[in-house]
Amino acid sequence: MVGPVDIEPDWSTVDVEHDTQRHTPFGPVRVPTAAQLFAEHLRTKIFNGEYKSGDHLPPERVLVEQGGLTRAAVRDALAILKQQGLIVTLTGRHGGSVVSRPTQQDLITSLDVFLQAQGWGPETPTLTESREIIEPSCAALAAQRRTTAELDAIHLFQDRQAHSLDNIPEYLSASQAWHVAVSDASHNTLLAAFMHATAEVLMAATNSARFSSHESRLCSLTAHREITEAIADRNSGRARELMTQHIRGSEDQN
Protein backbone atom coordinates (compact mmCIF):
# COMPACT_ATOMS: atom_id res chain seq x y z
CA MET A 1 0.00 0.00 0.00
CA VAL A 2 1.28 3.45 -0.89
CA GLY A 3 1.94 5.62 2.14
CA PRO A 4 0.17 8.90 2.85
CA VAL A 5 1.04 11.82 0.61
CA ASP A 6 3.31 14.31 2.34
CA ILE A 7 1.49 17.62 2.00
CA GLU A 8 1.59 20.49 4.46
CA PRO A 9 -0.18 21.41 6.62
CA ASP A 10 -0.82 18.14 8.44
CA TRP A 11 -4.23 16.72 7.51
CA SER A 12 -5.25 16.29 11.14
CA THR A 13 -5.12 20.04 11.72
CA VAL A 14 -7.41 20.92 8.83
CA ASP A 15 -11.20 20.97 8.69
CA VAL A 16 -12.06 18.56 5.87
CA GLU A 17 -15.49 19.98 5.20
CA HIS A 18 -14.96 23.74 5.46
CA ASP A 19 -12.25 26.35 5.23
CA THR A 20 -11.00 27.32 8.66
CA GLN A 21 -9.76 30.66 9.84
CA ARG A 22 -6.95 31.14 12.28
CA HIS A 23 -6.42 34.45 13.98
CA THR A 24 -2.95 35.94 14.05
CA PRO A 25 -1.66 39.34 15.15
CA PHE A 26 -2.17 40.35 11.51
CA GLY A 27 -5.81 39.22 11.37
CA PRO A 28 -7.58 36.01 10.31
CA VAL A 29 -5.71 33.63 8.00
CA ARG A 30 -7.73 31.20 5.91
CA VAL A 31 -6.43 27.64 6.03
CA PRO A 32 -7.14 25.42 2.99
CA THR A 33 -9.21 22.31 3.57
CA ALA A 34 -7.78 18.85 3.16
CA ALA A 35 -9.81 18.48 -0.04
CA GLN A 36 -8.35 21.68 -1.48
CA LEU A 37 -4.80 20.61 -0.66
CA PHE A 38 -5.30 17.14 -2.12
CA ALA A 39 -6.87 18.66 -5.24
CA GLU A 40 -3.76 20.83 -5.59
CA HIS A 41 -1.59 17.72 -5.19
CA LEU A 42 -3.46 15.93 -7.99
CA ARG A 43 -3.50 19.07 -10.14
CA THR A 44 0.29 19.25 -9.90
CA LYS A 45 0.55 15.66 -11.10
CA ILE A 46 -1.69 16.51 -14.06
CA PHE A 47 0.30 19.61 -14.96
CA ASN A 48 3.68 17.87 -14.74
CA GLY A 49 2.45 15.06 -16.99
CA GLU A 50 2.32 12.25 -14.46
CA TYR A 51 -1.37 11.98 -15.30
CA LYS A 52 -1.89 12.72 -18.99
CA SER A 53 -5.06 13.69 -20.80
CA GLY A 54 -7.20 10.57 -21.17
CA ASP A 55 -5.62 8.77 -18.22
CA HIS A 56 -7.81 7.41 -15.44
CA LEU A 57 -7.04 8.65 -11.96
CA PRO A 58 -6.71 5.89 -9.38
CA PRO A 59 -10.02 4.70 -7.89
CA GLU A 60 -11.35 6.57 -4.87
CA ARG A 61 -10.30 3.83 -2.45
CA VAL A 62 -6.70 4.07 -3.72
CA LEU A 63 -6.72 7.86 -3.44
CA VAL A 64 -8.04 7.51 0.12
CA GLU A 65 -5.10 5.25 0.96
CA GLN A 66 -2.56 7.45 -0.83
CA GLY A 67 -3.71 10.64 0.82
CA GLY A 68 -4.60 9.27 4.22
CA LEU A 69 -7.94 11.04 3.84
CA THR A 70 -11.60 10.26 4.29
CA ARG A 71 -13.61 9.23 1.25
CA ALA A 72 -15.62 12.46 1.61
CA ALA A 73 -12.46 14.58 1.38
CA VAL A 74 -11.29 12.70 -1.71
CA ARG A 75 -14.67 13.18 -3.37
CA ASP A 76 -14.54 16.89 -2.57
CA ALA A 77 -11.06 17.07 -4.11
CA LEU A 78 -12.29 15.36 -7.27
CA ALA A 79 -15.25 17.74 -7.41
CA ILE A 80 -12.81 20.67 -7.35
CA LEU A 81 -10.83 19.22 -10.26
CA LYS A 82 -14.03 18.56 -12.19
CA GLN A 83 -15.17 22.15 -11.68
CA GLN A 84 -11.80 23.34 -12.98
CA GLY A 85 -12.19 21.22 -16.11
CA LEU A 86 -9.23 18.98 -15.28
CA ILE A 87 -11.20 15.74 -15.02
CA VAL A 88 -14.44 14.33 -16.35
CA THR A 89 -16.47 11.61 -14.68
CA LEU A 90 -17.39 8.60 -16.79
CA THR A 91 -19.92 5.94 -15.88
CA GLY A 92 -20.18 2.31 -16.86
CA ARG A 93 -17.59 -0.40 -17.21
CA HIS A 94 -14.77 2.03 -17.98
CA GLY A 95 -16.04 4.73 -15.65
CA GLY A 96 -14.14 6.81 -13.15
CA SER A 97 -12.28 10.10 -13.12
CA VAL A 98 -10.53 10.74 -16.42
CA VAL A 99 -7.99 13.52 -16.92
CA SER A 100 -8.93 16.21 -19.42
CA ARG A 101 -7.46 19.53 -20.45
CA PRO A 102 -9.45 22.76 -20.40
CA THR A 103 -10.26 23.84 -23.95
CA GLN A 104 -10.49 27.26 -25.52
CA GLN A 105 -14.27 26.92 -25.27
CA ASP A 106 -13.95 26.43 -21.50
CA LEU A 107 -11.98 29.68 -21.34
CA ILE A 108 -14.53 31.48 -23.53
CA THR A 109 -17.38 30.28 -21.32
CA SER A 110 -15.58 31.41 -18.15
CA LEU A 111 -14.84 34.84 -19.61
CA ASP A 112 -18.41 35.19 -20.85
CA VAL A 113 -19.81 34.37 -17.40
CA PHE A 114 -17.35 36.78 -15.78
CA LEU A 115 -18.27 39.64 -18.12
CA GLN A 116 -21.99 39.10 -17.67
CA ALA A 117 -21.61 38.88 -13.89
CA GLN A 118 -19.85 42.26 -13.84
CA GLY A 119 -22.76 43.83 -15.66
CA TRP A 120 -20.36 45.67 -17.95
CA GLY A 121 -21.77 47.52 -20.92
CA PRO A 122 -20.14 48.36 -24.25
CA GLU A 123 -18.91 51.70 -22.92
CA THR A 124 -17.36 50.35 -19.72
CA PRO A 125 -13.76 51.69 -19.64
CA THR A 126 -12.24 48.31 -18.75
CA LEU A 127 -13.88 46.73 -21.78
CA THR A 128 -13.12 49.52 -24.23
CA GLU A 129 -9.50 49.74 -23.05
CA SER A 130 -9.10 45.98 -23.41
CA ARG A 131 -10.55 46.07 -26.89
CA GLU A 132 -8.20 48.88 -27.94
CA ILE A 133 -5.23 46.80 -26.79
CA ILE A 134 -6.33 43.38 -28.00
CA GLU A 135 -7.91 43.93 -31.41
CA PRO A 136 -4.94 45.73 -33.03
CA SER A 137 -2.69 42.92 -31.77
CA CYS A 138 -5.06 40.36 -33.27
CA ALA A 139 -4.94 42.14 -36.62
CA ALA A 140 -1.13 42.35 -36.58
CA LEU A 141 -0.76 38.68 -35.69
CA ALA A 142 -3.37 37.69 -38.28
CA ALA A 143 -1.30 39.43 -40.95
CA GLN A 144 1.68 37.30 -39.93
CA ARG A 145 -0.03 33.97 -39.31
CA ARG A 146 -3.30 33.74 -41.22
CA THR A 147 -3.90 30.77 -43.46
CA THR A 148 -5.61 30.93 -46.82
CA ALA A 149 -8.75 29.42 -45.29
CA GLU A 150 -8.77 32.00 -42.50
CA LEU A 151 -8.33 34.84 -44.98
CA ASP A 152 -11.25 33.40 -46.96
CA ALA A 153 -13.38 33.48 -43.79
CA ILE A 154 -12.48 37.13 -43.17
CA HIS A 155 -13.41 37.95 -46.78
CA LEU A 156 -16.66 35.99 -46.41
CA PHE A 157 -17.92 38.01 -43.45
CA GLN A 158 -16.75 41.23 -45.08
CA ASP A 159 -18.79 40.35 -48.19
CA ARG A 160 -21.81 39.58 -46.00
CA GLN A 161 -21.49 43.05 -44.53
CA ALA A 162 -21.44 44.56 -48.00
CA HIS A 163 -24.54 42.62 -49.03
CA SER A 164 -26.48 43.59 -45.90
CA LEU A 165 -25.83 47.32 -45.73
CA ASP A 166 -29.57 47.95 -45.76
CA ASN A 167 -30.35 45.26 -43.19
CA ILE A 168 -28.96 46.49 -39.88
CA PRO A 169 -29.29 43.24 -37.82
CA GLU A 170 -27.58 41.17 -40.53
CA TYR A 171 -24.97 43.85 -41.06
CA LEU A 172 -24.10 43.98 -37.35
CA SER A 173 -23.95 40.19 -37.12
CA ALA A 174 -21.58 40.00 -40.10
CA SER A 175 -19.48 42.83 -38.67
CA GLN A 176 -19.00 41.05 -35.36
CA ALA A 177 -18.24 37.77 -37.13
CA TRP A 178 -15.54 39.60 -39.09
CA HIS A 179 -13.88 40.80 -35.87
CA VAL A 180 -13.97 37.28 -34.42
CA ALA A 181 -12.55 35.81 -37.66
CA VAL A 182 -9.62 38.24 -37.48
CA SER A 183 -8.94 37.15 -33.89
CA ASP A 184 -9.07 33.47 -34.89
CA ALA A 185 -6.50 34.15 -37.61
CA SER A 186 -4.12 35.52 -34.96
CA HIS A 187 -3.56 31.94 -33.73
CA ASN A 188 -3.39 33.32 -30.20
CA THR A 189 -5.77 31.34 -28.02
CA LEU A 190 -6.05 33.93 -25.25
CA LEU A 191 -6.68 36.89 -27.54
CA ALA A 192 -9.20 34.95 -29.61
CA ALA A 193 -10.98 33.74 -26.47
CA PHE A 194 -11.45 37.34 -25.35
CA MET A 195 -13.00 38.25 -28.70
CA HIS A 196 -15.34 35.25 -28.67
CA ALA A 197 -16.39 35.91 -25.07
CA THR A 198 -17.09 39.58 -25.69
CA ALA A 199 -18.89 39.01 -28.98
CA GLU A 200 -22.34 39.74 -27.58
CA VAL A 201 -21.15 42.78 -25.63
CA LEU A 202 -19.36 44.14 -28.67
CA MET A 203 -22.45 43.43 -30.73
CA ALA A 204 -24.32 45.73 -28.38
CA ALA A 205 -21.56 48.30 -28.81
CA THR A 206 -22.07 48.40 -32.57
CA ASN A 207 -25.82 48.47 -32.19
CA SER A 208 -25.81 52.20 -31.56
CA ALA A 209 -27.48 55.19 -33.13
CA ARG A 210 -24.50 55.98 -35.32
CA PHE A 211 -25.07 52.77 -37.28
CA SER A 212 -28.61 53.74 -38.12
CA SER A 213 -27.35 55.63 -41.16
CA HIS A 214 -26.19 53.98 -44.37
CA GLU A 215 -23.16 56.27 -44.42
CA SER A 216 -21.91 55.12 -41.00
CA ARG A 217 -22.23 51.46 -41.96
CA LEU A 218 -20.40 52.07 -45.22
CA CYS A 219 -17.61 53.86 -43.32
CA SER A 220 -17.13 50.86 -41.02
CA LEU A 221 -17.18 48.47 -43.97
CA THR A 222 -14.49 50.54 -45.68
CA ALA A 223 -12.31 50.27 -42.57
CA HIS A 224 -12.80 46.50 -42.55
CA ARG A 225 -11.81 46.28 -46.20
CA GLU A 226 -8.59 48.21 -45.60
CA ILE A 227 -7.69 46.03 -42.62
CA THR A 228 -8.47 42.88 -44.59
CA GLU A 229 -6.22 44.09 -47.39
CA ALA A 230 -3.36 44.65 -44.94
CA ILE A 231 -3.88 41.16 -43.51
CA ALA A 232 -3.92 39.69 -47.03
CA ASP A 233 -0.67 41.54 -47.82
CA ARG A 234 0.84 40.28 -44.55
CA ASN A 235 1.53 43.87 -43.55
CA SER A 236 1.27 43.51 -39.78
CA GLY A 237 2.26 47.10 -39.01
CA ARG A 238 -0.43 48.57 -41.22
CA ALA A 239 -3.01 46.05 -39.98
CA ARG A 240 -2.30 47.12 -36.39
CA GLU A 241 -2.45 50.82 -37.26
CA LEU A 242 -5.70 50.54 -39.20
CA MET A 243 -7.39 48.43 -36.53
CA THR A 244 -6.33 50.92 -33.84
CA GLN A 245 -7.87 53.75 -35.85
CA HIS A 246 -11.01 51.70 -36.45
CA ILE A 247 -11.52 50.81 -32.77
CA ARG A 248 -10.80 54.33 -31.54
CA GLY A 249 -13.14 55.76 -34.14
CA SER A 250 -15.89 53.39 -33.04
CA GLU A 251 -15.44 54.33 -29.39
CA ASP A 252 -15.28 58.07 -30.06
CA GLN A 253 -18.61 57.96 -31.85
CA ASN A 254 -20.45 55.81 -29.28
pTM attached to this predicted model = 0.72
Quick one: 63 and 166 in the same domain?
no
Q: Which range marks the domain in which residue 63 is found?
A: 11-99
**3-class SS string, 67-130:** HCCCHHHHHHHHHHHHHCCCEEEECCCCCEEEECCCCHHHHHHHHHHHHHHHCCCCCCHHHHHH
Find the mean pLDDT for residues 193-202. Answer: 83
Any domain includes 6: no
Q: Residue 45 is part of a domain; what is its CATH number?
A: 1.10.10.10
d(C-alpha 83, C-alpha 75), whole Å:
12
Q: Which of 77, 99, 121 is the last residue of a domain?
A: 99
d(C-alpha 246, C-alpha 224), whole Å:
8
Quick one: 150 and 63 in the same domain?
no
- Secondary element (H or E) of residue 253: helix 236-253
Confidence of residue 9 (pLDDT cuts 50, 70, 90): very low
Angle between helices 168-185 and 189-197 (to 10 degrees): 160
In one-letter notation, the amino acid at residue 211 is: F
Q: Please write the tens of the pLDDT for every residue from 158-172.
A: 999 999 999 988 998
